[in-house]
Amino acid sequence: QKTPVRVAVTGAAGQIGYSLLFRIASGEMLGKDQPVILQLLELPMEKAQAALKGVMMELEDCAFPLLAGMVGTDDAEVAFKDADIALLVGARPRGPGMERKDLLLENAKIFTAQGAALNKVASRDVKVLVVGNPANTNAYIAMKSAPDLPAKNFTAMLRLDHNRALSQLANKAGVAVGDIEKLVVWGNHSPTMYPDYRFATVNGQSLKDKINDADWNANEFIPKVGKRGAAIIEARGLSSAASAANAAIDHIRDWVLGSNGKWVTMGVPSDGSYGIPEGVMYGVPVITANGEYTRVEGLEVDAFSRAAMDKTLAELEEERAGVAHLLG
């Protein structure tokens, strides 16, 4: 049997955690032959710890053959000890009357501490995915707080946006979602993101040939993908959870096991390409193989795309400026 992989998950007793942990333990993320050890972090409050205990009891009751061990804790250094993968899901939600800026700062505290804990105790190859919002900036903060770990190991989740866009395109074009390739979602995980299907193909043919509708693109498709999270809250009374967990599984599975030449979207620290300043945690198209991602380079940026990419960049730069004083 393979050596177990240590998977740390924060916010493990939350909504997304409840959809995520069982799929990780059943082998859907790392493969049906890969044992895992779950290292679960929750807030120290009694209620959170009790809820975590309940989730762990249910995990036990599934008798997953691949679940080789489990730890529940309120200490980040215990949760991240030797972690090979860290899914940072837990974050401070926006409370009533809380300003965006306060939310940013509250989360900055969490991700500074968690970045430092990863820096201290995680595997030197740890792959980090930040799901907790504001995901890109939280990932940036964790990366900056972990100077001994490679910056490329820190990523933010844009995959839910990517998957949402895929389904909208498949519906519009009347094609199978699995046949669409080469979609990109640029920028921040926020309504400013830019889903871009200029390069997309369906069974090798340009998708633009099937959907040649600039008005639909600008006034329906882009806003619909951007506001999908709000639409889910409106319909369900709760934010996206199962689809977010599914996207986290897709992100890590492709990063670890490879995307087989397909483009996927990951929020990664910019290398300066596409006019995005170095270090900004920005959604870009990547291909993954052998546990590494490689940016898709050299795509043309037309005027419409430049404006959309700069708009989401401006928001990220503003968020970054808002936490700069905390990062030294």
Closer to ligand NAX by Cβ: residue 241 or 301: 241
Place of tokens 């990517």: 162
For residue 110, the minimal CB distance to ligand NAX (Å) is: 4
**Out of 37, 38, 48, 129, the residue judged to bind ligand NAX by CB under 6 A:** 48
Fill in the per-residue mask, 180 to 209: x = in contact with ligand NAX (CB under 6 A), - = not in contact.
Answer: ---------x--------------------
Q: What is the 3-state secondary structure (H, E, C) of 30-75?
A: CCCCCCEEEEEECCCCHHHHHHHHHHHHHHHHCCCCCEEEEEEECC
Please report, as a single letter, which amino acid is at residue 270.
S
189 labelled catalytic: yes
Q: What is the 3-state secondary structure (H, E, C) of 137-170?
A: HHHHHHHHCCCCCCHHHEEECCHHHHHHHHHHHH
Both tokens assigned to 65: 């053959």
117: part of which helix (H) or strand (E)? helix 100-121
Closer to ligand NAX by Cβ: residue 35 or 267: 267
Name the 3-class secondary structure at 190: coil
Closer to ligand NAX by Cβ: residue 67 or 225: 225
Closest CA to 88 of 56, 57, 58, 113: 113
Closer to ligand NAX by Cβ: residue 35 or 283: 283
Q: Does 160 bind ligand NAX (CB under 6 A)?
A: yes
Q: Does 90 bind ligand NAX (CB under 6 A)?
A: yes
Q: Does 13 bind ligand NAX (CB under 6 A)?
A: yes
Task: Give the sign of the dihedral formed by CA 139, CA 144, CA 263, CA 28.
Answer: negative
Q: Does 91 bind ligand NAX (CB under 6 A)?
A: yes
Closest CA to 170 of 205, 222, 223, 210: 210
Q: How far apart are CA 175 and CA 172, in angstroms?
A: 8
Closer to ligand NAX by Cβ: residue 35 or 90: 90
Identify the burial level of 303 via C-beta atoms within 10 angstroms of its C-beta, where 0-12 means exposed, 13-18 middle and 19 or more buried. exposed
Catalytic residue among 162, 189, 251, 325: 189
Name the 3-class secondary structure at 115: helix
Place of tokens 């990547």: 286
Q: Could you tell me how many residues of this chain bind ligand NAX (CB under 6 A)? A: 29
**Out of 73, 240, 246, 259, the residue judged to bind ligand NAX by CB under 6 A:** 240
Task: Tell which positions 14-33 bind ligand NAX, by CB under 6 A.
Answer: 14-17
For residue 8, the minimal CB distance to ligand NAX (Å) is: 10
Both tokens assigned to 24: 């990780």
Fill in the per-residue mask, 129 to 148: x = in contact with ligand NAX (CB under 6 A), - = not in contact.
Answer: --xxx-x-------------
Closer to ligand NAX by Cβ: residue 15 or 201: 15
Judged by CB under 6 A, the stretch of 84-92, 255-263, 282-290, 297-305 that binds ligand NAX is: 84-92
Place of tokens 């009790």: 50
Beta bridge pairs of residue 180: 202
Q: Does 89 bind ligand NAX (CB under 6 A)?
A: yes
**Out of 24, 36, 157, 284, the residue judged to bind ligand NAX by CB under 6 A:** 157
Beta bridge pairs of residue 10: 41, 88
Q: Does 128 bind ligand NAX (CB under 6 A)?
A: no
Closer to ligand NAX by Cβ: residue 166 or 202: 166
Q: Does 56 bind ligand NAX (CB under 6 A)?
A: no
Q: How far apart are CA 198 and CA 183, in angstroms?
A: 8
- Provide the annotated active-site residues: 189
**Which residues would be at the binding site for ligand NAX (CB under 6 A)?**
10-11, 13-17, 41-43, 48, 89-93, 110, 131-133, 135, 157, 160, 189, 229, 239-241, 244
